[in-house]
Amino acid sequence: MNYLTKGTQPDDPIEARKLRIKAARYAIIDDTLFRKSFSGPYLRCLDPREAEWVLKETHQGTCGNHTGGRSLARKALTQGYFWPYMARDAEQFSRKCDKCQRHAPLIRQPTEELNPVVGPWPFARRGMDIVGPLPTAVGGKKFVILATDYFTKWVEAEAYKTVTQTYVVRFVWRNIICRFGIPRAIVTDNGTQFDNRKFRSYCEEKGIIQQFSSRSYPQGNGQAEKTNHTIFDCLKRRLEQRKGKWSEELPNVLWAYRTTKWKPTGESPFSLAYGTEAVIPTEIGLPTVRTLVVESNDNEQKLAHNLDLLEEQRETAALRLANYQNQAANYFNKRVRQRKFKVGEWVLRKVMENTKDLNAGKFGRIWEGRYEVTEAYGKRAYMLRHIESGQYVPRPWNAIHLRKYFI
């Protein structure tokens, strides 16, 4: 402005030459500074206060649509405004918008590398989980307890009306110990049905190592969650409109799961457990050689041979499983984007079922609260304190469910 109105230049000749070159693109119209544009009319130059008002009005005003930083800068430029560092200021303004942060899309990228877990031998390590509430079935059953073997992928499941520590102990006794012996370890989440005095003492009495999901991901363990998804995805296809009959269809789905070959091991859970493939109803309706030519002595001899070769079959399955897990880990780890928070930083937490506003429906927020990080654990786990109420969140939260809040 001083150069265009008064001809004032810096004493340094280099700086003066830079000023003359830059000023060639500016003009003063009615005591207002304008900048010549490459793509349109003159752009009005704004001071910091005016630039902030334009950003606010364009971003969240009457015609605002809470656009991102790059689009916000281009929109202001298209409307005929200019100031230094437009793109930077627009990016920072958009990033600090409270509504944009609370309705930002979920972050799908994993925050830490995948660590595969393998069972050392069949039925040595079980992953347990509880699914529910489900549509009310016969007998008022709403919940299912599932236990998956890490090695053979054999699944045990049973439906219950409610799930208490007593039912968990009964399930372990009837569906695990009485059928396959005492396991070496049981992996569960941090739910009160598993983390209680009665179940802990029962595991100690039987010599079972009780392993909880780490603080870095206290919501569950991957093996149990993957099995849950597979079992109930199959149930959906069977039920259609008869949602209340899921408990009657559950044994059929379990049988189908146990007799199907799975890619990680290349074998069916039934074959790895008993050394031979099960005879399924299809082979009875349309007989095969295996069911047509059956001689008692020959059949018993072949079953004995299968049992002799079972150890080799399991070792081959273990190698195949390890190779599959390495491939899965390499693919997964390529997408990892570490997300760390420092103590004292503010974060938002993903809205869960117990924090969802049921009246909001599709218009509900994706991220809730404003929390302060009070303590950090080893693998992306953090203790939080609510900013408004000052209350501490009772358990740690993984970084995958958090995003930084910009002030």
pLDDT digits 0-9 by tens, 179-209: 888 888 888 877 778 888 888 888 888 888 8
* CA–CA gap between residue 105 and residue 230 (Å, rounded): 26
- What global pTM score does this model have? 0.63
First vs last Cα of the chain: how many Å apart? 34
Which residues are bridge partners to 45 per DSSP?
82
Asked if 65 and 47 count as a contact pair (C-beta separation under 8 A), the reply is no
SS3 state of residue 82: strand
* CA–CA gap between residue 153 and residue 171 (Å, rounded): 18
User: Can you read off the two tokens belonging to residue 395?
Assistant: 């358990």
SS3 state of residue 338: coil
* CA–CA gap between residue 167 and residue 246 (Å, rounded): 20
Q: What is the predicted pLDDT for the residue at 295?
A: 61
| DSSP state, residue 202 | H
Helical (H) or strand (E) element with 318: helix 310-333
Helical (H) or strand (E) element with 33: strand 32-35
* CA–CA gap between residue 253 and residue 56 (Å, rounded): 56
pLDDT in tens, the chain (407 residues): 888 888 888 888 888 888 888 888 888 888 888 888 887 778 888 988 999 998 888 888 877 788 888 888 888 888 888 888 888 999 988 888 888 888 888 887 777 777 777 766 788 888 888 887 888 888 888 888 888 888 888 888 888 888 888 888 888 898 888 888 888 888 887 777 888 888 888 888 888 888 877 554 544 456 667 777 787 777 777 776 677 778 888 888 888 888 888 888 888 888 888 887 777 777 777 777 666 666 656 667 777 777 777 778 888 888 888 888 888 888 878 887 878 888 888 998 888 766 676 566 677 788 888 898 888 876 678 888 898 888 888 778 888 888 888 88
C-alpha 69 chain-centroid distance: 27
pLDDT digits 0-9 by tens, 285-319: 777 766 666 665 666 777 777 777 777 888 888 88
Which residues are bridge partners to 367 per DSSP?
350
Q: What is the predicted pLDDT for the residue at 215?
A: 53
Asked if 72 and 62 count as a contact pair (C-beta separation under 8 A), the reply is no
Q: What is the predicted pLDDT for the residue at 290?
A: 67
Q: What is the predicted pLDDT for the residue at 154?
A: 86
